[in-house]
Amino acid sequence: MAAQVSYSSTRGQSPELSFDDVLLTGLAPDGGLYAPDHWPTLSKAELKSLAGQPYQVIARAVISPFLDDTVSDAELGEMIDAAYGRFAHPAVAPVLQTGPADFMMELHHGPTLAFKDVAMQLLGHLFAARLKARGRQMTIVAATSGDTGGAAIDAMANRPGVNICVLHPNGRISEVQRRFMTTVEADNVLNIAVEGNFDDCQALVKAMFADVDFRDAVSLGAVNSINWARIVAQIVYYVSTSLTLSRDGEPVHFCVPTGNFGDIFAGFVAKQMGAPVGHLVVATNENDILNRAMRQGAYKPDGVIATQSPSMDIQVSSNFERLLYIACGRDAELVRELMGSLKEGGFVLPQNLRAAIAPDFSSYRASEEATAAKIAQIWRETGQLIDPHTAVGLVAADGARANGLKGTLVTLSTAHAAKFPDAVESATGVRPDLPARCRDLYARDEVMTVLPNDYAAVTDYIRKAFEN
Ligand SMILES: *Cc1c(COP(=O)(O)O)cnc(C)c1O
């Protein structure tokens, strides 16, 4: 039996925790992110026996080494079966061949049509089980600019012990995104449309976490992408697909549309666990802080630009901190110093960190024009409609090929075209249909409350709904 994984903050000033506490804590009190103290590995024999197995079987093998003994293997298996039983495709993350050595992995077969469902569906079960075991109640509050809110509401609706409140910027998300949040009928769901932008929503949530009185009154919790359990659930599809496509252990490359660096970091972890993962290609839209960091070594946030791929409209890429922490040999003091300088406009990556990152990663940026042109090209050539986030990935994959990347390359398709119908229609002239399972989305009644961008107004409203 390998040593149980324990978790430390990337900033080194919080106590070490077990998985169970990391799940329910989210962000470390010192402002850092929790990261495992070592990588559990899958032996050659284990990997060989997992190749070609159903997604659920691979999920058990990949996820269980990160957990502690508070969740038994049998319990984990039941959660995985329930979570992925809600996916519309039996393969969960099916792979489509798009060229001689090019593939697309479809991660949008979950209930809200984006890859956030893969992690969030499992999180719903983990939260409910662990809160019940501890006899606790929790109110999860999240700010969303797009897909996280819908995935979280679907995963948490009607779960005992959990309340979920999502703040979105009023009038600034797509109608499909909004309806996935506002049409869920459940007593434990609260939708607040804030009269402001996404940054205002996020600032409100941050202020709630800093407000001890409010935090205790509602037992505040978080499921944003810094939650380690979400990363763990995402490792699975890199393991399953690399095992499916690798011949004789040859590495499989992945190209990942990236915002908060959570998804691509999961690919990096799959590689550390021993899966045949090769190069990881970062694909950004015009909000390209990661592309600049990878190429020029400067991690400097700019203003956020609104693009066709709004789920990647991000300037501070939270999970990049986890990569820095690993790349510098878990030197929390250095990470603390680098992240501290974000307030003064950013930092330059030390040369040894750049050298440590370079062998695993490369990076490309897709302009708005190139993204739209890619959606149109795929439609023309194959008759398939792809979403703008996926298109950003395919533009980056072209860049990697043009730069000489050889071997099998898998681009992640992170959302269904119907989730971003305006962008797809403007590129192709065709409006994508919702899949049959959610075709009634426009007919369902919406429930949400519009509130001013005012801390007292928002927190009073949440207290009235959910105070213990
Ligand atoms: C969240 C999201 C991304 C970016 O994922 P990160 O883990 O934040 O890098 C890409 N595409 C879609 C559709 C998303 O919802």
Predicted TM-score (pTM) of this structure:
0.96
Amino acid letter, residue 154: D
* Candidate from 389, 413, 420, 424 with most ligand 1 atoms within 8 A of CB, to mutate: 389
Share of the chain above pLDDT 70, in %: 99
Asked whether 114 lines ligand 1 (CB < 6 A), one says: yes
pLDDT at 146: 79
- Eight-class DSSP state of 17: B
| Residue 216 CA, ligand 1 centroid: distance in Å | 31
Count of domains in the chain?
Answer: 1
- Residue 40, pLDDT > 90, answer yes
Asked whether 236 lines ligand 1 (CB < 6 A), one says: no
| Residue 413 CA, ligand 1 centroid: distance in Å | 10
Element (H, E) at 116: helix 116-134
CB 255, CB 397: distance < 8 Å = yes
Could you report the per-residue pLDDT of 241-292, keeping only the tens digit for each? 999 999 989 999 999 999 999 999 999 999 999 999 999 999 999 999 999 9
Which ligand 1 atom sits nearest the alpha carbon of residue 263? 7
pLDDT at 200: 87
- Which tokens in the block code for residue 21? 């506490």
- Residue 188, pLDDT > 80, answer yes
Q: Is residue 332 domain-resident?
A: yes
Collapsing DSSP states into helix, strand and coil, what is residue 135? coil
**Cα–Cα distance, 337 to 340 (Å, whole number):** 5
pLDDT at 173: 86
CB 154, CB 183: distance < 8 Å = no
Q: Is residue 294 domain-resident?
A: yes
- Residue 2, pLDDT > 80, answer no
| Residue 257 CA, ligand 1 centroid: distance in Å | 7
3-state helix, strand, coil in the chain (%, to 5): 50, 15, 35
Could you report the per-residue pLDDT of 396-409, keeping only the tens digit for each? 999 999 999 999 99
Asked whether 414 lines ligand 1 (CB < 6 A), one says: yes
pLDDT band at 342 (very low <50, low <70, confident <90, very high): confident
Could you report the per-residue pLDDT of 142-179, keeping only the tens digit for each? 998 778 999 999 999 999 999 999 999 998 888 999 99
Asked whether 227 lines ligand 1 (CB < 6 A), one says: no
Please, which residues have CB within 8 angstroms of residue 250's CB and are 6 or more apart in sequence? 276, 407, 408
- Residue 20, pLDDT > 90, answer yes
Share of the chain above pLDDT 90, in %: 85
Asked whether 147 lines ligand 1 (CB < 6 A), one says: yes
Output the average pLDDT for the chain. Answer: 94
Q: Is residue 124 domain-resident?
A: no
Which ligand 1 atom sits nearest the alpha carbon of residue 260? 8
Could you report the per-residue pLDDT of 307-316, keeping only the tens digit for each? 999 889 888 8
pLDDT at 314: 83
Could you report the per-residue pLDDT of 112-139, keeping only the tens digit for each? 999 999 999 999 999 999 999 999 999 9
Domain range spanning residue 366?
A: 95-113+228-428
Residue of 44, 48, 116, 374 marked catalytic: 116
pLDDT band at 319 (very low <50, low <70, confident <90, very high): very high
Catalytic status, residue 464:
no
Q: Is residue 208 domain-resident?
A: no
Could you report the per-residue pLDDT of 70-111, keeping only the tens digit for each? 999 999 999 999 999 999 999 999 999 999 999 999 999 999
Q: Is residue 192 domain-resident?
A: no
pLDDT band at 468 (very low <50, low <70, confident <90, very high): low
Question: 302 in the Ramachandran plot: left (φ > 0), alpha (ψ -120 to 50) or beta?
Answer: beta
Could you report the per-residue pLDDT of 382-436, keeping only the tens digit for each? 999 999 999 999 999 999 999 999 999 999 999 999 999 999 999 999 999 999 9
**Cα–Cα distance, 258 to 14 (Å, whole number):** 28
pLDDT at 458: 98
Collapsing DSSP states into helix, strand and coil, what is residue 452? strand
Q: Is residue 106 domain-resident?
A: yes
Q: Is residue 315 domain-resident?
A: yes
Q: Where residue 317 sits, what CATH number does that domain have?
A: 3.40.50.1100
- Which protein residue's CA is at the shortest distance from atom 11 of ligand 1? 414
* Candidate from 414, 419, 420, 424 with most ligand 1 atoms within 8 A of CB, to mutate: 414
Q: Is residue 118 domain-resident?
A: no
Measured from the Cβ of residue 429, the count of other Cβ atoms closer than 10 Å reads 9
- Residue 1, pLDDT > 60, answer no
